[in-house]
């Protein structure tokens, strides 16, 4: 995992306001740098690891390996393999002795988050973790408004069951604002989700 | 993950002792059925999951994917990929709210366990987990004697540092018996390591 300093861009000294300032000062934007949510989370986890705040990693993509070649004098080459359905969430680890387990998804929708982004086995996995008193949640980014929410598993489960009962197949933006927790975005770390985890579960 | 009942072999009714009984009754052997330690642990973890004792999974093998083909109407095929060095241990999960993290290795040696079975980054990972108050250890099987030991990270670290300081490159069998904990082997689950974890850390 590479470690990018602040945002991977050159430092440019702040300049004076241009002669034609916009009517309203533009809000500082931290996240819209073409980074995916996954990249932001990976760098946040690297920050946590470096500063000994937590040990949280993304799991490797599960792959079914069918054929491997062993060329002499060089590394083994996988020549045929297939993507497997993951049986768990993507991220897990430890924070102050407690088990942390979550999935991260982003949507370009403005008004709702489609539940089809999750698979049933992931929900079942989170249910098992929840029963074992692990801390489990999802991180959801609305890409266009650049907002990231932490939604605890218990809340997600309510919307999942609503869909299973024939109800709407998404979580409304207002519902997310009500039941989820907006994560402060920054430069370092970018998505400081443990701040919310600490408030909610400790 | 498949779920094999007891040992994957047909049930055969117990027979009366043969006419020529051996001098000493043979000790019941549970583990020497050609199963690797990894297979035994995977089935043990499946048992824990089914009976809601813990949620512990093996992480997928990390692979660097270079080339993927997308044949029409069928699944994507990975055509070129390479094995990556894992940056963590192989197993992690949650048991009664606590974070569990371990590596499993077996050796055919009779008198010692070679430390080269571990990589430095795995030791560093366990150190980070230990600092976060996670529960971390290694499971070591001496294949020939069919014994499995749980060795807590703190004890492993002492032997690792001894090697780093120029000392022996292995853990003696007697040291393992002194600092490690022998795991009871059974049919279901096969390697009940949480029994020891519960005694040691709770």
In order along chain A (202 residues), what is the average pLDDT of each group of 10 residues?
46 44 50 79 97 96 94 90 92 97 96 95 97 98 95 98 97 97 94 97 95
Cα A114 from Cα A168, distance rounded (Å): 9
Mean pLDDT of chain B: 88
Examine the pLDDT at B75 and tell me if it is beyond 60: yes
CATH code of the region B37-60+86-201: 3.40.1350.10
> What residue spans define the domains of chain A?
37-60+86-201
Q: Give the distance from residue A95's alpha carbon to the nearest chain B alpha carbon, in angstroms.
A: 6
Here the tokens at position A53 are 């705040």
pLDDT at B4: 44
pLDDT of B101 reads 98
Chain A segment 26-55 residues within 8 A of B by beta carbon are: 49, 52, 54-55
Q: Taking 50 as the threshold, does the pLDDT of residue B9 lie above it?
A: no
Would the CB atoms of A60 and B57 count as touching at under 8 Å? no
Of residues B159, B170, B102, B105, the one with CA closest to residue B136: B102
Q: Where are the beta strands (DSSP E) in B36-125?
A: 55-58, 63-69, 77-83, 91-95, 98-107, 112-114
Strand partners, A98: A95, B98
B47 or A12: which leads in pLDDT: B47
B76 pLDDT higher than 90 = yes
B contacts of A69 (beta carbons < 8 Å): none
What pLDDT is attached to residue B85?
87
Cross-chain CB nearest to A60 (options B59, B75, B79):
B59
pLDDT for the residue B1: 42
Higher pLDDT, B45 or A72: B45
The ipTM (two decimal places) reads 0.82
Residues 61-90 of B with CB under 8 A from A: 61-63, 65, 75-84, 86-88
Which pLDDT value is given to residue A27? Answer: 52
- pLDDT tens-digit series, residues B158-189: 999 999 999 999 999 999 999 999 999 999 99
What pLDDT score was predicted for residue A35?
87
């Amino acid at each position: 995992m590479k470690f990018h300093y602040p945002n991977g861009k050159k430092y440019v000294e702040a300049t004076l306001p241009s002669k034609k300032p916009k009517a309203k000062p533009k809000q500082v934007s931290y996240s819209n740098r073409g980074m995916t949510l996954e990249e932001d989370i990976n760098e946040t986890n690297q920050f946590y690891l470096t500063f000994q705040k937590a040990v949280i990693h993304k799991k490797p993509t599960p792959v079914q390996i069918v054929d491997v070649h062993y060329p002499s004098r060089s590394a083994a080459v996988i020549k045929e393999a297939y993507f497997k359905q993951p049986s768990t969430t993507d991220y897990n680890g430890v924070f102050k002795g407690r088990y942390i387990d979550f999935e991260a998804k982003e949507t370009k929708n403005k008004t709702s988050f489609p539940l089809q982004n999750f698979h049933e086995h992931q929900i079942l996995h989170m249910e098992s973790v929840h029963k074992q008193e692990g801390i489990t949640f999802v991180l959801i980014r609305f890409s266009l408004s650049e907002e990231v929410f932490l939604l605890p598993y218990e809340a997600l489960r309510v919307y999942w069951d609503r869909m299973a009962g024939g109800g709407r197949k998404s979580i409304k933006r207002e519902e997310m604002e009500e039941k989820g927790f907006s994560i402060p975005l920054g430069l370092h770390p970018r998505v400081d989700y443990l701040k919310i985890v600490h408030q909610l579960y400790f």
